[in-house]
Amino acid sequence: MSARREETTQRILDGAAAAFAKGGYAATSMEDIAAAAGVSKLLLYRDFAGKRELYQAVLERSRDRFTSEVPHQATADALHTFFAAARRDPDGYTLLFRHAIREPEFAAFVQELSDDWERRTEDLIRPYEPDPLLRRWAAHVAVHNTHQMIIAWLEYGDPSRDADVLSRMQASSRAAVVGDRPSRAAREAAAGSGAAAGSGAAAGSGAAAERGAAESGAAAERGAAESGAGVGSELAVEPVGGGGSGE
């Protein structure tokens, strides 16, 4: 394929992604796609037999982009990379996780991708959630909510505020995984506070107790901040059973 023809094909795929993302598969016509791509309807049929083949090609391109760019392990860094990939291909992302996943003819194609990410997330949180039922639920909720939060932000949000939204997404995912379980840092801070307060009381030093309480408060705040880092390597929660693999 010549460079010029490849450029035209990519323009058609871009236009098709935009048209399909706006109206879904059933409601989008080849005329809509041709208009979005800025080409004639006849040119669409040069490379694609029909709407179904074109739709499949758009899905495959977007899927391949995400799977190639996002690291295999479901960490907080991976979430940043995933969000950036969605920002670069907002139509493809919306098409995959708003439309195609709800369309019977194509749902299985997209569901396989989501199931893979859920398995990765479940493996990641295994040391933190020993209950297999809750672990499976938490992984599903984390992945599903991530898709929906990203789609909503791509549609309504300001790119300059992406970092703030990412922080909130991480906190939301962490809540599903660990609930209200205190972070490791917060528990260590509480233990240190008790020791410092006891030492101060034994010595009869009110000033030492006050300093211990102040240090405890600062440490607890740091622990809370760390615990909000999200699902990933930043999960500041004590693994159940000393970090065992669980079930």
Query: pLDDT, tens digit, for every residue of 82-141?
Result: 888 899 889 999 998 888 888 888 887 788 888 888 898 888 888 888 899 999 999 998
- What is the predicted pLDDT for the residue at 38? 92
Q: Where on the phi/psi map is residue 157: left (φ > 0), alpha (ψ -120 to 50), or beta? A: beta
Q: Does residue 191 carry a pLDDT above 90?
A: no
Tens-place pLDDT, residues 144-178: 888 899 999 998 888 999 999 988 888 887 777 76
Interacting residues of 245 by C-beta distance below 8 A, sequence separation 6+: 126, 127
pLDDT number for residue 17 = 94
Measured on CA atoms in the order 183, 185, 187, 193, is the torsion positive or negative? negative
Instruction: Output the pLDDT for position 244.
Output: 44
d(CA 120, CA 117): 5
User: Scanning the structure block, which residue is given the tokens 């939060």?
Assistant: 149
Kindly indicate the confidence band of residue 192, based on its pLDDT and cuts at 50, 70 and 90. confident
Task: Note the pLDDT of residue 223.
Answer: 43
Q: How far is the CA of 105 from the CAs of 12, 96, 100, in angstroms?
A: 22, 13, 8
Distance from C-alpha of 114 to C-alpha of 174, rounded to nearest angstrom:
19
Average pLDDT of the chain? Answer: 77
pLDDT value, residue 239: 52
pLDDT at 30 over 80: yes
Share of the chain above pLDDT 70, in %: 70
Question: CA-to-CA distance for 20 and 53, rounded, in angstroms?
Answer: 13
The span from the CA of 31 to the CA of 50, in Å, is 12
Give residue 183's pLDDT.
52
Residue of 221 and 142 predicted with greater confidence = 142
Determine the distance from the C-alpha atom of residue 241 to the mean position of all C-alpha atoms in its chain, rounded to a whole number: 27
